[in-house]
């Protein structure tokens, strides 16, 4: 244990291999007290077991309205509203809202979407090939595929993608000013409120089945136990989580495979490895890299330290997923490793709702990319790749590739 209370900037700068968590996340380990940008003290939990314990212990709250909640930047504090999405609510409200969506993301439901996802991937790849190399894989494939899929699921017009992708990027930029974040939040919320109101009017009295066929937003909008503000805030959570995460995982995974060609070869030689490979890439890359924030509601002993009521903790998934006790030689990418216990989707009641969808998308994209483009290569030197170090979700801004 070490108590440093040193100012700590998040995301911490990366050094050396851009796929490795920043050394600053690991240094005062396993549990250490740091002070955030505004002087708030906060505990960093970096060991696998401590992170898992904190994420299942009801004495820690995900509700940002509690005093002491750790905000990573002024922009993050700006996101606190009196109508949070269920990501920032505790039970029972959290599960009341989450339950309304569980059937939409069941493995069975997502498996039925696989042919449609495959079609979208093939169409985007055809369009990318027609452009001729080099192209930016982020703009042509990694971003459009999950965006098209989530728009279809939600019932949000994909024609508006320039608008919501740009606003989402600002919202998830940890370095953005409070004003910029507030503006992006207002615009996105306004957009979703308008859509929800229109759907509520259109499907009023039309029956649940018709609303459901239009998508998740209409299904929520016709519920009498939800306000338009609640529909909009949960719609926003899905829209944001539904495209930014998978898009960044796709581009980073592609780059990681190009950087480890022997791993890509193993996958190409045996495509049945793709499911396990996606778990390993989720572990190895851990794109939610700034730590899941929680605040202690009571005094808690954890990781050998005493965390007082009202103190924040950050559950560092990136270091937990490299914990050598669980993942031997964890800094190596090994597509044949059994990585299923990774925490890239979080753990406990808030564990990622969209994980079956994210898995299906990543499995289909990577298998198709490796099969259809056997000569895929990076079109710029690796050192020039522009990583999203400041974003809440780690990724790549552009990935120029050739084939």
* CA angle (287, 30, 39) in 5-degree steps: 75
> Are 168 and 183 in contact, with CB atoms under 8 Å apart?
no
Q: How far is the CB of 95 from ligand HEM (least distance, A)?
A: 8
| DSSP β-ladder status, 41-45 and 31-35 | antiparallel
Q: How far is the CB of 215 from ligand HEM (least distance, A)?
A: 12
Q: How far is the CB of 42 from ligand HEM (least distance, A)?
A: 15
Q: What is the DSSP letter of 301?
A: E
Q: How far is the CB of 194 from ligand HEM (least distance, A)?
A: 21
Return the number of the residue (4 or 106) whose C-beta is nearest ligand HEM.
106
Return the number of the residue (99 or 377) whose C-beta is nearest ligand HEM.
99
User: What is the rounded CA–CA span in Å between residue 295 and residue 43?
Assistant: 10
Return the number of the residue (92 or 132) whose C-beta is nearest ligand HEM.
92
DSSP element (H, E) containing 289: none
Q: How far is the CB of 48 from ligand HEM (least distance, A)?
A: 14
**What sign has the CA pseudo-torsion 29, 61, 193, 96?**
positive
Spell out a b/e string for 84-122, using b for 16 or more CB atoms within 10 Å of the CB, else e. Answer: bbbbbbbeeebeebbebbeebbeeeebeebeeebeebbe
Q: How far is the CB of 351 from ligand HEM (least distance, A)?
A: 6
Q: How many CA atoms lie within 13 A of 12 on its CB side?
A: 19
Binding site for ligand HEM (CB under 6 A): 62, 86-87, 98, 150, 237-238, 241-242, 245-246, 249, 287-288, 292, 344-346, 350, 352-354, 357-358
Q: Which residues contact 38 (CB under 8 A, 6 or more apart)?
A: 71, 74, 77
Residue nearest to ligand HEM (CB): 354
Return the number of the residue (341 or 377) whose C-beta is nearest ligand HEM.
341
> Are 392 and 288 in contact, with CB atoms under 8 Å apart?
yes
Q: How far is the CB of 2 from ligand HEM (least distance, A)?
A: 25
Q: Which residues contact 284 (CB under 8 A, 6 or more apart)?
A: 19, 256, 321, 333, 339
Return the number of the residue (265 or 369) whose C-beta is nearest ligand HEM.
369
Joined tokens for residue 230: 């609640």
Return the number of the residue (345 or 403) whose C-beta is nearest ligand HEM.
345
Return the number of the residue (176 or 240) whose C-beta is nearest ligand HEM.
240
């Amino acid at each position: 244990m070490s108590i440093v209370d040193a100012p700590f900037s998040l995301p911490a700068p990366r050094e050396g291999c851009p796929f490795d968590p920043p050394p600053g996340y690991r240094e005062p380990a396993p549990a250490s007290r740091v002070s955030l940008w505004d002087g708030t003290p906060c505990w960093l939990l970096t060991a696998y077991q401590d992170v898992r314990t904190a994420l299942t212990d009801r004495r820690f709250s995900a509700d940002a309205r509690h005093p002491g909640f750790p905000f990573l930047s002024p922009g993050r504090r700006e996101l606190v509203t009196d109508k949070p999405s269920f990501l920032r609510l505790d039970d029972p409200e959290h599960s009341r809202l989450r339950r309304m969506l569980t059937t939409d993301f069941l493995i069975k439901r997502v498996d039925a979407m696989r042919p449609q996802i495959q079609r979208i991937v093939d169409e985007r790849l055809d369009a990318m090939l027609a452009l001729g190399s080099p192209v930016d894989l982020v703009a042509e494939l990694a971003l459009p595929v999950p965006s098209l899929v989530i728009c279809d699921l939600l019932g949000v017009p994909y024609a508006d993608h320039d608008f919501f992708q740009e606003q989402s990027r600002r919202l998830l930029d940890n370095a953005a000013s409070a004003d910029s974040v507030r503006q992006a939040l207002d615009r996105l919320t306004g957009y979703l409120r308008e859509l929800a109101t229109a759907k509520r009017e259109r499907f009023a009295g039309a029956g649940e089945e018709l609303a459901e066929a239009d998508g998740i937003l209409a299904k929520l909008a016709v519920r009498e136990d939800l306000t338009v503000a609640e529909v909009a805030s949960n719609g926003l959570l899905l829209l944001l989580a539904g495209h930014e995460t998978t898009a960044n995982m796709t581009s980073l995974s592609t780059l990681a495979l190009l950087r480890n060609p022997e791993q890509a070869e193993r996958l190409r030689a045996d495509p049945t490895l793709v499911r396990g490979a996606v778990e390993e890439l989720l572990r190895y890359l851990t794109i939610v890299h700034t730590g899941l924030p929680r605040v202690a509601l009571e005094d808690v002993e954890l990781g050998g330290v005493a965390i007082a009521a009202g103190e924040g903790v950050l559950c560092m998934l990136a270091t937990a997923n490299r914990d050598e006790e669980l993942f031997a030689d964890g800094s190596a990418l090994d597509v044949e490793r059994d990585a299923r216990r990774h925490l890239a989707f979080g753990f406990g009641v808030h564990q990622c709702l969209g994980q079956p969808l994210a898995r299906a998308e990543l499995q289909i994209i990577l298998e198709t990319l490796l099969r259809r483009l056997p000569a895929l290569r990076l079109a710029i030197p690796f050192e020039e790749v522009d990583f999203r170090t400041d974003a809440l979700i780690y990724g790549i801004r552009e990935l120029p590739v050739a084939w």
